Amino acid sequence: MSGKSDHSLAPARFSLPPIGARVAALTRDVFRKRGFAEGHILANWPQIAGETIADYCAPERLKFPRQLREGRGPQGGATLEIRVDGPIAVEIKHLEPQIIERINSFYGYQAVTRLKLVQGPLPPRPRARRRPIRPLGGAERAALAQSLEPIAEPALKTALERLGERILGRTSRTGPK
């Protein structure tokens, strides 16, 4: 016997649940009203349909066949109602088999069998905002090069130089923040 205990004497650590679990719990009822058991299709629509198609349409509601809702009859996929902006509806209708195939391959089973298009304005999609990075002045570039001088490894030096350019390029020229 080694004299060591099988149980650790370290105190149990308190940890918070992931925020994603809380958000999912809060949004579950809202998604169910629209026919979505989960918000996956809404959150991943640009990856499922493709960025180009997702710019002109958005999933609205998922409707399951009556037999499936009542728990009887053959298992079939749902009808996905999609809001479409403008005359692109004709093109989306033409691409319906490919869109359905992409949705079903994303989920790994026949989740959707048909699309129903509803014309109307789309809600604005949030765009990632990127602040422009201004070019560094001569004095800033010289100071950055001087601070990186002690670093011998070229790959690390290059990576730090790019990082330094981005950090310094975000601050104003009037002085440090």
Least confident of 75-79, 134-138, 141-145: 75-79
Backbone angles phi, psi at 16, to 5 degrees: -85, 150
pLDDT at residue 73 above 50? no
Query: In whole numbers, what is the pLDDT of the chain averaged over residues?
Result: 77
Alpha helices in the chain (DSSP H): 19-33, 40-43, 45-49, 51-54, 66-69, 89-94, 96-107, 138-148, 154-170
d(CA 16, CA 19): 8
pLDDT at residue 3 above 80? no
> Which pLDDT value is given to residue 131?
73
d(CA 158, CA 177): 25
d(CA 2, CA 87): 77
More confident residue, 174 or 150: 150
Q: Give the side-chain half-sphere CA count within 13 A for 91.
A: 10
C-beta of residue 152 within 8 angstroms of C-beta of residue 115: no
Q: Are strands 78-84 and 112-119 parallel, antiparallel or unpaired?
A: parallel
Stretch 83-99: mean pLDDT: 91
pLDDT at residue 98 above 80? yes
> Which pLDDT value is given to residue 130?
72
Tens digits of residue pLDDT in 28-72: 665 555 545 556 777 788 888 888 888 889 998 888 777 555 554
**CA distance to 28, 87, 99, 121, 137, per residue, from 93 (Å):** 30, 11, 9, 17, 53
> Which pLDDT value is given to residue 71?
54
d(CA 53, CA 47): 10
Tens digits of residue pLDDT in 102-131: 988 888 888 889 999 999 888 776 666 677
C-beta of residue 73 within 8 angstroms of C-beta of residue 67: yes
